[in-house]
Structure 1
Amino acid sequence: MNLVIEHLSKTYPNGTKALSDVNLRIEPGMFGLLGPNGAGKSSLMRTISTLQEADQGSIRLGDLDVLANPDRVRQVLGYLPQEFGVYPKVTAAELLDHFAVLKGISNKSERKQVVDGLLQQTNLYNVRNKNLGGYSGGMKQRFGIAQALLGNPRLIIVDEPTAGLDPTERNRFHNLLSEIGEDRIVILSTHIVSDVSDLCRQFAIINKGQVLYTGDPLLAIEEIRGQIWRRTIGKHELDSYQQQFAVISSRLFAGQTIIHVHSLAQPGNGFESVDPTLEDVYFARIHAAEQVATPQVVNG
């Protein structure tokens, strides 16, 4: 069962164009939706999950028309939104049991079996009787995945799930996502490039409501091999280099600035070729799109 999105557009009442002619074909497995904050990721996730309507376009999950049949979609959907609230004075077992009732699991013994199984899967069983207010951020995110898995959904959407997690919890969460993404569609919406490179076999880059690229992360990296160049410069030189070269990223190291430039040929003395990463792919695509949107003005 594939998720097929065609010509999807959404403009909010304040005039913000959140989605512009989005086209995606997503197969079972982990799919990364990568973009900066405000790129349209959450708008797309909310539309797929039937929380808002589109202005035009279509979404199909197998034979199911998502936009025309929201109730049927919700029966096969698991969703972990970016902002996931919990009742702080309720235990994980109690709240997950409540969610299971809402999901239609009415038989008490069956419900207990499902709840216990999900708490085991998310490594929360030993703290199932602890109030959720005492959970760490990572534990709350794992509880969010547990509720998203209720009803054995065929489509799972997780929106910015690792933001704010420490490295240990992030690694644990990655392992959990990898496990559940083996036999169903899992869409991982994030601005963290390493989340996608670690987990996803397919991904898309989105910015300002437009899909800039879709494909395999490894192939995307190969496409720009030999085109990424690095140089260490003084912090005060950054503006000058940005005017002369396609500087796609910069970072500080030991008080100096390391820049990455995207160029088909050697940019000049002092630059060295480096092996590209998915981060370079991401920044290069964002930079190229912004250059098209705001072309340089030449005087004279």
Structure 2
Amino acid sequence: MTMAVDVRALSKRYGQKRVMDGLDLEVRPGVTGLLGPNGAGKTTLLRCLATVLAPDSGEMRIIGLNPADGAQRTELRRQIGYLPQDPGLYAHFTSAQMLDYIAILKEMTNRRQRAEEVRRVLTEVDLTAQSNVKIRKLSGGMRQRLGIAAALVGDPGFIILDEPTVGLDPEQRMRFRTLLSRLGETKIVLLSTHQTEDVAALCERVIVYRAGQVIFDGDPTGLAWQAGGKVWSTAERPVGDEVYWRTTEGRYRVVGARPHDGEAVEPTVEDGYLRLLAEAEEEVA
């Protein structure tokens, strides 16, 4: 099996809006973070990679298979784990029944094998005690963890996660990071999120996606330094259009031009991301 995702000249349009515009992308084993503002086209890209949506043009080769070919697409779907923003869990199923159903869809025909797989993925997301609980009775965080478990059924080589940490408490997020970092040692993990702290903690590579185009592709440190020399601490509320917020120390953190009494501070991934988007908006204007 070729452990790689290769996308060439991928395009997708909804009416007059082009949400992907000749996109080229390569993803290799490891955890890759996908950042971008709402409406950037991230979910459309993930749905194309998950073979849920067909692009208008372009080519994809995912772990050596061509999703445009029907037979290869069927085989590919056995190798993909996908968590959409809305996992579509059936409320009247128990957790174990839902995962068993996913295993059947992945053509796991041996009942004992399916039962073992269900136990395995429930353990991975710490839901063993809820295996026989109806989904409608689970908390929001538990349902999110069940969606993650569903994406892991069948031990896929390519795992696609769209906003996976929504609804997770801090302890659950730490457990999720541990799980993802382990998976990334041997699998391709593509993680779309608005949580820059998850990207900083998990991802060896981060892609910033805006208006159907990649505007940054590098490591989290490189993204943080997109705001190098442009992050300041000041005692006075800034005047103008710069991005700023008041910190717990009572000072203001400013991303942009230096205030008259600004003291330089080291940028974070969030700072670099905000500055990169601001510069992209300035170019359009």
Q: Does 1:251 align with 2:253?
A: no
Distance 1:217 1:56, change over 3 A: same
Structure 1 counterpart of 2:284, which letter?
A
Cα distance in 2 for residues equivalent to 1:112 and 1:105: 10
Q: Does 1:164 align with 2:167?
A: yes
Out of 96, 106, 120, the residue aligned to residue 109 of structure 2 is: 106
Cα distance in 2 for residues equivalent to 1:257 and 1:12: 44
Write out per-residue CA displacement over residues 101-134 of structure 1, whole angstroms, 9 at most, x where no aligned residue: 1211111111111111111222111221111112
Asked if 1 retains the 8 angstrom alpha-carbon contact of 2:33 and 2:206, the reply is yes
Cα distance in 2 for residues equivalent to 1:282 and 1:156: 24
Cα distance in 2 for residues equivalent to 1:287 and 1:59: 31
Structure 2 counterpart of 1:16, which letter?
K
Cα distance in 2 for residues equivalent to 1:166 and 1:277: 22
Partner of 1:298: none
Q: How far has the Cα of 1:12 moved from its partner?
A: 0.7
For the pair shown, the structure with the greater C-alpha radius of gyration is: 1
Distance 1:255 1:30, change over 3 A: closer
SS in 1 for 2:93: coil
Partner of 2:94: 91
Asked if 2 retains the 8 angstrom alpha-carbon contact of 1:78 and 1:149, the reply is yes
Matches within 5 A, 1:138-287: 138-222=141-225, 224-234=227-237, 238=239, 241-242=240-241, 247=242, 249-253=243-247, 258-262=252-256, 267=258, 269-287=260-278
Write out per-residue CA displacement over residues 53-76 of structure 1, whole angstroms, 9 at most, x where no aligned residue: 112222212432234443232121
Cα distance in 2 for residues equivalent to 1:50 and 1:64: 11
Asked if 1 retains the 8 angstrom alpha-carbon contact of 2:82 and 2:151, the reply is yes
Q: Does 1:127 align with 2:127?
A: no
Structure 2 counterpart of 1:283, which letter?
L
Cα distance in 1 for residues equivalent to 2:6 and 2:236: 45
Tell me the TM-score normalized by structure 1: 0.86
Write out per-residue CA displacement over residues 137-193 of structure 1, whole angstroms, 9 at most, x where no aligned residue: 222122112211122211110101122333333333323322322210011011221
Tell me the TM-score normalized by structure 2: 0.90
Asked if 2 retains the 8 angstrom alpha-carbon contact of 1:96 and 1:147, the reply is yes
Q: How far has the Cα of 1:98 moved from its partner?
A: 1.8
Partner of 2:8: 6
- In structure 2, list runs of 5 or more residues that go unmatched: none
Asked if 2 retains the 8 angstrom alpha-carbon contact of 1:37 and 1:191, the reply is no
Asked if 2 retains the 8 angstrom alpha-carbon contact of 1:232 and 1:259, the reply is no
Cα distance in 2 for residues equivalent to 1:67 and 1:207: 26
SS in 1 for 2:189: strand
Asked if 2 retains the 8 angstrom alpha-carbon contact of 1:233 and 1:256, the reply is no
Cα distance in 1 for residues equivalent to 2:128 and 2:81: 20
Cα distance in 2 for residues equivalent to 1:218 and 1:256: 27
Structure 2 counterpart of 1:284, which letter?
R
SS in 2 for 1:66: coil
Moved more, 40-49 or 85-94: 85-94
Partner of 1:64: 65
Structure 2 counterpart of 1:53, which letter?
A
SS in 2 for 1:64: coil
Structure 1 counterpart of 2:77, which letter?
R
Q: How far has the Cα of 1:7 moved from its partner?
A: 1.9
Cα distance in 1 for residues equivalent to 2:143 and 2:175: 13
Cα distance in 2 for residues equivalent to 1:164 and 1:106: 33
Cα distance in 1 for residues equivalent to 2:201 and 2:73: 32
